[in-house]
Amino acid sequence: MKKLLVGTLLAASCVASLLAQAQDPVRIGFITTLSTPAGYLGEDSRDGFQLAIDQEDGKLGGVPVSLLVEDDGLQPARAKQIIDRMSLDGISLYTGVIFSNVLAAVVNTATKDGFYISNNTGPSSLAGKQCKPNYFVASYQNDTIHEMAGVAANDLGYKKMVILAPNYQGGRDALEGFKRTYKGEVTEIYTKLNQLDFSVELARVRSLAPDAIFEFHPGGAGINFAKQYGSSGLSKTIPMVVPVFSMDERMLAATGDVAKGMNIVTLWNPGSNNPANQAFVKAFSEKYNRVPTVYAAQTYDTARLIGAALKSVGGNMKDPEAFRNAMRNVKFDSIRADYHKSGKTDYLA
């Protein structure tokens, strides 16, 4: 009788243990920029991801998840410390990074025994032969939107342009993308990442007297650039062609009339009549009392992509091949368009 009781207790214990394991949430490491003048980019990204979780009452794809958010401070070394700690704690699914130089510091650790799903940056240094099996991009290839800016500049008839960007991977990709399609004459100017004073660069723009300028400066740097461009008087005579990262919804609110007349190339529009997009914009605006930026939109889609993959594998992250195949093959109702595979990497476009 005693042996039967012990066996019954052991069986009950095993069942309870299995149930507890089945209910454990999938932990997602969300490393992003929440401080510095670029901090609102991470804030919008975090809020977009959290919205997707809240809409499923703490789940993604029906699978319970736990979002662990850390601020990288736009410092690669700090991001590396964060992901090393998260990895040792057993986290195997990551997203959230805004800047390419920060991604370079975390991607190897993230993809060694886990997965990194990019909600924003898609550097050329991780495309093609350099693309890692456990690295997916749910946003864009870095240079794509800047290539479209080059096409726009051609269509606008600009023959001579000054092009500016910070000297880091994302900035270099931006200028390379622009030059790939632009047919006119260019003068390149590289600034510092997160630079806030552009008086020297603007003086040089004035002396070069181009037909127009193209500039890529996300976040607070872009706000300052636009304000200083306007106050210098250059905006009255030299138009600008910019990607949405240089003039997003929050930047428009911060710069006011300075943005009038700018030619803005974007990959997402809050006014798009896609029903899924309109539902997202409404839900985000009601929850956070502000219009979402492209960063929020991309990261919301990233969460839904992850949710679709988690649903496909039943929340089991212990089988990397199964999750990898799920990421490559799942479909979901994107607020932008359909999920595709390309020769360079996997992406939403």
**pLDDT of amino acid 22:** 52
When pLDDT is cut at 50, 70 and 90, the band that residue 345 belongs to is very low
Cα–Cα distance, 254 to 107 (Å, whole number): 33
Mean pLDDT of all residues in 27-48: 98
Cα–Cα distance, 104 to 42 (Å, whole number): 17
Q: pTM for the complete prediction?
A: 0.90
Which ranges in the chain belong to alpha helices (H)? 2-23, 39-55, 76-88, 100-112, 144-155, 169-181, 199-208, 219-231, 249-255, 275-288, 294-312, 320-329
Mean pLDDT of all residues in 2-23: 45
Instruction: Give CA 345 to chain center in angstroms.
Output: 15
Cα–Cα distance, 100 to 170 (Å, whole number): 6
Mean pLDDT of all residues in 122-132: 90
Mean pLDDT of all residues in 272-292: 95
**pLDDT of amino acid 107:** 97
What phi, psi does 236 have (nearest 5°)?
-80, -25
Residues 6+ apart with CB under 8 A from 26: 60, 63, 64, 65, 66, 93, 310, 315, 317
CA atoms within 13 A on the CB side of 113: 10
Cα–Cα distance, 280 to 335 (Å, whole number): 7
Asked: is 143-265 a CATH 3.40.50.720 domain? The reply is no
- Other CB atoms within a 10 A radius of the CB of residue 66 amount to 12
Please measure the distance between the N-terminal and C-terminal CA atoms of the chain and give it in whole angstroms. 65
pLDDT digits (tens, 9 = 90+) for 52-101: 999 999 999 999 999 999 999 999 999 999 999 999 999 999 999 999 99
For 345, which DSSP code?
Answer: -
Cα–Cα distance, 309 to 317 (Å, whole number): 10
Mean pLDDT of all residues in 116-123: 97
Look at residue 19 and tell me whether its pLDDT is greater than 90: no
Mean pLDDT of all residues in 337-343: 51
Fold of 26-140+273-328: Rossmann fold (3.40.50)
Give rounded-to-5 percent helix, strand, coil for the chain. 50, 15, 30
**pLDDT of amino acid 79:** 98
Residues 6+ apart with CB under 8 A from 103: 97, 116, 118, 121, 123, 126
Residues of the chain with CATH 3.40.50.2300: 26-140+273-328, 143-265
